Amino acid sequence: MTNVIYPTTNLKAVEQLVLERGEGVYVFDNQGKQYLEGLAGLWCTSLGYGNQELIDTVSEQLGKLSYSHMFGGKSHQPGIDLADKLAGMVPMDNAKVFFGNSGSDGNDTHIKMLRYYFNAIGKPEKRKIITRERAYHGVTVAAGSLTSLPANLAHFDAPLEALGILRTDHPHYFSGRQGNETEAEFVERITGNLETMIVREGPETIAAFIAEPITGASGVIVPPAGYYEKVQAILNKYDILFWADEVITGFGRTGNDFGCTTMNIEKPDMMTFAKQLSSAYYPISASLIRGDMYEAMIEPSAQVGVFGHGYTYSGHPVACATALKVLEIYERENLFERSAQMGDYLQTKLKQFADHPLVGEVRGRGMIGAVELVANKQTGKAFANGSVGAYAVQRCQEHGLIIRAVAGNSLAVCPPLIISEAQVDELIEKLGMAIDETLDFAKAQNML
Ligand code: PMP
């Protein structure tokens, strides 16, 4: 028993794996056992472990200027260059960039910028935010209120009422369909519900709709074709902003530069990045807004004297230099294209599990996927709790593969983008053994 309070862990049954070092796509525990990192840490170590170029970048920047803040317009070249680079990459008009430290605080920043912006343009009543069931947008008090997973809300008195969070359907056809509904009918129904809610609440009271283009923590939900086109048409009709939370899907994860590209989401008004922005070599987030939103916020900030929001580590020079180098490596190594090709390979391999008696659905795009274990393959009935998923994860670990079970019993895979074909084979083989063993376990427990 250590004195650490473990995040997102059953505090009573703390199970520990003590990792000591990493190399490429592998990590090693304190007994020297090797594991393939099948979830890239927490969906973040895109360039794997021990990348010498990144180690050098961090250490050089530490040596040059280990810290500088950005308050009052103080700046440094890595921060300026990173904002320019990001603005040039995203599918947004004249994007402006605010830096933070984590996906959660990046989303908090956006909530505050939304208020600031709508106050600035004389629409102070436009403040509610639509999120989706099963969404994950972080765990701070505000971003945690946008998250819809029960464990992140229960006992925390969340969501914070004052934020005016609205929840609409999640877009997972497999678990959300009704009766014999087709995918198109499902999309029609849930986007119909969205529009009904907007009209009921009053569009003039709603600021934005937030979505992970493809979700992570809620089970790697890939919405059906046409879903985002319909959502965006509704949002445009009622003058509601589209806010893409690309904390997981940004930078090649889904086989394209951004999840928005993969899912045909046109010109989001806001984008949040973290994780793969620095391949987790240094914490950083970026909250991007449209250039004209920024312009509108200038005058009010002059009235008060400042735009009164900023973290001590907003634009930490080491984080910015690291992220710049990471983006350079993505480009130089053609990692987004590689991710598309290797992603096809990974998805084809994962699909082999679709016939397994324990598997209800296999889904994913590019280098992110999930295998959902179900109690009844024919009906898709879910298990009553997450014990089957937890068992599978434990078996994977035994075989030297680290993954996570999300949304109960969906086994998520999201390996570093640098993974080789042989290493994908290794991942699949180990995952397959674990799923077979989990079937035996579920049978022995009379859970099927
Ligand atoms: N948004 C999404 C889509 C995420 O997946 C996460 C983290 N998994 C967050 C926000 C929060 O990021 P962080 O844990 O860095 O605060």
| Token couple for 410 | 């969906």
Please choose, from the candidates 104, 363, 352, 359, the residue with its C-alpha nearest in 3D space to the C-alpha of residue 219.
363
Query: How many angstroms separate the Cα of 392 from the Cα of each of 286, 343, 371?
Result: 35, 23, 11
102 lines ligand 1 (CB under 6 A): yes
| Token couple for 421 | 């074909």
CATH 3.90.1150.10-classified regions of the chain: 19-50+335-444
Mean predicted lDDT score pLDDT of the chain: 97
Contacts of 118 by beta carbon, 8 Å cutoff, 6+ apart: 124, 126, 127, 207
The answer to whether 242 and 114 are in contact (CB under 8 A) is no
pLDDT at res. 364: 98
Query: How far does the centroid of ligand 1 lie from the alpha carbon of residue 378, in Å?
Result: 34
Q: Which atom of ligand 1 is nearest to the CA of 42?
A: 8
| Residue that has been written with the tokens 């970026």 in this structure | 286
Mean pLDDT across 93-119: 98
On the question of pLDDT at 201 being above 90, the answer is: yes
248 lines ligand 1 (CB under 6 A): yes
CATH 3.40.640.10-classified regions of the chain: 54-332
pLDDT at res. 346: 98
Over residues 229-281, the pLDDT tens digits come to 999 999 999 999 999 999 999 999 999 999 999 999 999 999 999 999 999 99
pTM of the model: 0.98
Does the domain at 54-332 match CATH 3.40.640.10? Answer given as yes
247 lines ligand 1 (CB under 6 A): yes
Please choose, from the candidates 293, 243, 240, the residue with its C-alpha nearest in 3D space to the C-alpha of residue 265.
243
Q: Which atom of ligand 1 is nearest to the CA of 275?
A: 15
Over residues 281-310, the pLDDT tens digits come to 999 999 999 999 999 999 999 999 999 999
Q: 19-50+335-444 is classed in which CATH architecture?
A: Alpha-Beta Complex (3.90)
pLDDT at res. 14: 82
